Amino acid sequence: MINDNVIPYRKEADERFSSHQLTPNIERPSAPSNAALLDAYATWCEAVIQTRLQLHFAQECPFTDVYQVTPPDIASYSGTLAVWVQQHDLDFSCQLLLALALMPIVKPQVLDVLLMRNDNIERPYSEFGGGEYQGAVVANGDTLTFLLGGESIEIRLQVQRLLSAMQSGNISVLTPGEAAVMQLLDEPEPATSNPFKRQLILAAEPMTLLTISGAYHAAKGANFPAQLVTSHSLDSLVLADSVMRQLDDIHAWSQHGETLRNSWGMADRIRPGYRALFHGPSGTGKTMTAGVLGQRLGKDVYKVDLSRVHSKYIGETEKNLERVFTLAEKNQWILFFDEADAVFGKRTQTSSANDQFANQNISYLLQRIERFEGLVILASNYKDNVDEAFFRRFESVIHFPKPAAEQRLAIWRNGFSPQTQLAQDVDLQDLALRCSLSGASIMNVIRYVSLKAIAEGRTLIGLGDLQQGIDREQGSSTQPRW
């Protein structure tokens, strides 16, 4: 399908880019720029559109097929866009899809021709597809079909297969290149039952990566039902050896899970993603451990606010959760559900509409966490309150016991500020043996005595201060139910 008569689009783009003189007060970017390849893609996309229109209207054209208008030579470029295209070995159609999705940001006027009106019916040409989104002209499935095959039914069915697979979530039927580029697209809002009407718009994170080579942090808004968990270093965590070994299992999945599924051919035998349950008494470090995992894996951890998820209206709880899951998948977040038994609790016998509603929420969550491609962590003080059906879906069930004496001693020793001094009558080893406090309770005591010392204008902390803090902490604690 490809001949030697090609238009030198890459050369023209290179000449325009290299001739552009940067002003003295603007520094060149330290990372390789995507500008040259984006310019070449814009020129190529314009040529493909022009060629298809000439062929469609039987006008004079130097080509007999759009496939003769070759894409840019990726090997000649640097930058995150070139690396990404090379890694996924995109063919002609996938590169065209990517170029169409990039145009509203890179060179929006390229797609203006899609709105050309048919004078016979005084409306745009239906076969061109496209439409407007946030003030810009965007391509859709009809546009891709038209550019690739004109009025060819065979090409239309091929594009339908591509778009329908993404709509149904069944990407296993796609080639690796097709799956990769389709997963860059933003979810249509509202969703459409006609796959050809799906707008080809890049999601914010890949758009940022493939244009300005930056990391994108989604703007979630004041009502977003999840908050970023503060990350901690592994050195700040004091946990039992059994817990640390199981955390290593999660790290191993993060590093090698894709190799196991793809290179080792296990994708049809094991689920995507990883699910872990942290259970144990309050104050034993479950939330802090989630933050440490995020820091170790280089991912943001978002704690789901269950009070903002739950709704009395049918379907709204699932909608709120789906928004969180979708954003988490796109941004590769770790999801953390604290007090998970509140939303992942046991299903009950259906005796009322409320029971049916609650069971529906749990059934949705069972299916959704099984499809989640990242790491999701559920934390609960009461393991027995979690629905048994979830346990079959956990790759790890990790018990967080109250710290033993040696762990309590490590928390005492590491908890104080370097600005403080301990009086000679303070024996931390004795406190660790004598007072069976959780890690959170020990830190509450340290916080209390430190603030007390600051308020009194001193840095020395004595045994009396610590005992007062311990009595205060034990007096405010409620008796555990387990």
CATH number at residue 388: 3.40.50.300
User: Do 207 and 115 share a domain, yes or no?
Assistant: yes
Summarize pLDDT for 321-340 with one digit per residue, the tens: 787 888 888 778 899 988 77
The full DSSP string for 346-361 is: ------SHHHHHHHHH
Report the alpha-carbon distance of residue 143 to residue 261 in Å, rounded: 34
User: Do 340 and 443 share a domain, yes or no?
Assistant: no
Burial class (CB in 10 A: 0-12, 13-18, 19+), 168: exposed
By the 8 A CB rule, do 322 and 226 touch? no
User: Do 88 and 118 share a domain, yes or no?
Assistant: yes
* Beta strand residue intervals within 172-272, DSSP E: 226-228
Residue 437 has pLDDT above 50, yes or no: yes
Please check whether residue 383 lies inside any domain of the structure. yes
User: Do 392 and 416 share a domain, yes or no?
Assistant: no
By the 8 A CB rule, do 337 and 376 touch? yes
pLDDT of residue 6: 37
CATH number at 459 reads: 1.10.8.60
User: Do 206 and 240 share a domain, yes or no?
Assistant: no
Please check whether residue 189 lies inside any domain of the structure. yes
pLDDT of residue 389: 67
- Give the count of domains, the chain: 3
Enumerate residues 6+ apart whose C-beta is below 8 A from 53: 59, 113
pLDDT band of 50, cuts 50, 70, 90: very high
- The residue ranking higher by pLDDT, 216 or 300, is 300
Domain residues for the domain of 450 are 405-476
User: Do 26 and 83 share a domain, yes or no?
Assistant: yes
User: Do 234 and 162 share a domain, yes or no?
Assistant: no
Summarize pLDDT for 211-244 with one digit per residue, the tens: 988 665 554 555 567 788 877 666 667 888 888 8
By the 8 A CB rule, do 337 and 324 touch? no
Please check whether residue 216 lies inside any domain of the structure. no
3-state DSSP call for residue 217? coil
Residue 19 has pLDDT above 50, yes or no: no
pLDDT of residue 343: 61
Residue 21 has pLDDT above 50, yes or no: no
User: Do 59 and 25 share a domain, yes or no?
Assistant: yes
Q: Answer with the one of 161, 183, 211 that is the final residue of a domain.
A: 211
User: Do 162 and 243 share a domain, yes or no?
Assistant: no
User: Do 439 and 366 share a domain, yes or no?
Assistant: no
3-state DSSP call for residue 447? helix
Summarize pLDDT for 162-206 with one digit per residue, the tens: 888 877 766 667 888 888 888 888 866 555 678 888 889 888 778
Average pLDDT score, the chain: 80
pLDDT of residue 307: 66
Please check whether residue 271 lies inside any domain of the structure. yes
Enumerate residues 6+ apart whose C-beta is below 8 A from 431: 408, 412, 466, 470
Q: Answer with the one of 362, 384, 399 that is the final residue of a domain.
A: 399
pTM summary value: 0.56
Please check whether residue 343 lies inside any domain of the structure. yes
Name the most confidently modeled range: 19-28, 71-80, 224-233. 71-80
Residue 16 has pLDDT above 60, yes or no: no
User: Do 258 and 186 share a domain, yes or no?
Assistant: no
Please check whether residue 389 lies inside any domain of the structure. yes
| Closest of 181, 222, 173 to residue 202, by C-alpha | 181
Question: What is the chain's alpha carbon radius of gyration, rounded to the nearest angstrom?
Answer: 29
Q: Answer with the one of 169, 186, 211 that is the final residue of a domain.
A: 211
Please check whether residue 312 lies inside any domain of the structure. yes
Summarize pLDDT for 96-118 with one digit per residue, the tens: 999 999 999 999 999 998 888 88
pLDDT of residue 191: 58
Of 14-28, 319-333, 438-452, the range with the lowest mean pLDDT is 14-28
Of 9-13, 31-35, 51-55, 383-387, the range with the lowest mean pLDDT is 9-13
Residue 353 has pLDDT above 70, yes or no: no
Please check whether residue 107 lies inside any domain of the structure. yes
pLDDT of residue 314: 59
- The residue ranking higher by pLDDT, 90 or 314, is 90
pLDDT of residue 131: 85
Per-residue pLDDT averaged across 144-149, rounded? 94
pLDDT of residue 446: 93
Summarize pLDDT for 258-286 with one digit per residue, the tens: 888 888 888 888 888 899 989 888 888 88
User: Do 416 and 315 share a domain, yes or no?
Assistant: no
- The residue ranking higher by pLDDT, 380 or 24, is 380
